[in-house]
Amino acid sequence: MLELVFATNNAHKLEEVQAIVGDRFVIKSLTDIDCHDDIPETGETFEENAKQKTDYLVRKYAVSCFGDDSGLEVDALDNAPGVYSARYSGSRDMEKNIDLVLESLLDNPERTARFKTVISLYLDGEQHFFEGSIEGTIITERRGEGGFGYDPIFIPDGYTKTFAEMTAEEKNQISHRAIAVRKLADFLNS
Ligand code: ITT
């Protein structure tokens, strides 16, 4: 069985990915390999940040691995918050981050946006990237209790519910992360 390290300590993300990838691969977390480092994420694109994570693990542990970076791009905000999604307002407080997006848009009618994920995979000495994105709209006030991050203000195209009003199963069928992870899984199983 092939072992792959996932550059995350988010157990929820790891479970989700393991379920999609299947049991031909054992996916280990950073904790599993005893890595407690704060891996730098200083790039200007999701791709750079995802690659920084795998480069770090390859250099330090010489393991096959993958890492991801995701965020929200709002067209009217020149694709902000983008790679700064987790700390757009200067803190990790999602209340403040959402408020800043809503205040920046005010009553701007142009509210198109997308969630994006890029996965970097380093396997057998080769670098690969997998992308997933989902287009949608930023509404004017929060709706729903589920999900995380910017989910309460994002309605994917073709739906009437925000990500936060969907069940985890519904969101995981269509999300940017699920799309990217399915591409990774298809590649690994091919
Ligand atoms: P890592 O430690 O794994 O990097 P993270 O919280 O930084 O975890 P991401 O890089 O995947 O997670 O995402 C960065 C931010 O983008 C995240 O904090 C959210 O604010 C936002 N985001 C990403 N995916 C999202 C989703 O599915 N729904 C809502 N917001 C999301």
**DSSP-assigned beta bridge partners for residue 28:** 5
* Residue of 70, 172, 176 to mutate, ligand 1, most atoms within 8 A of C-beta: 70
Q: Is the pLDDT of residue 1 over 90?
A: no
* pLDDT score, position 78: 98
130 CB within 6 A, ligand 1: no
Give yes or no: 69 in active site: yes
Strand ranges (DSSP E) for 29-172? 65-74, 112-123, 126-138, 154-156
93 CB within 6 A, ligand 1: no
Q: Is the pLDDT of residue 111 over 90?
A: yes
Residue nearest to atom 13 of ligand 1 (CA): 70
Question: How far does residue 25's CA lie from ligand 1's centre (Å)?
Answer: 24
Domain boundaries, the chain: 2-189
State the pairing for strand pair 126-138/154-156: antiparallel
Residue nearest to atom 15 of ligand 1 (CA): 86
* pLDDT score, position 89: 98
> Omega before 156 cis (within 30°)?
no
* pLDDT score, position 187: 95
pLDDT in tens, 114-138: 999 999 999 999 999 999 999 999 9
User: In this structure, which topology does domain 2-189 adopt according to CATH?
Assistant: Maf protein (3.90.950)
Q: What value does the mean pLDDT of the chain take? A: 95
Q: How far apart are CA 125 and CA 104, in angstroms?
A: 44
147 CB within 6 A, ligand 1: yes
Distances (CA, A) of 174 to 53, 95, 157, 162: 25, 24, 11, 12
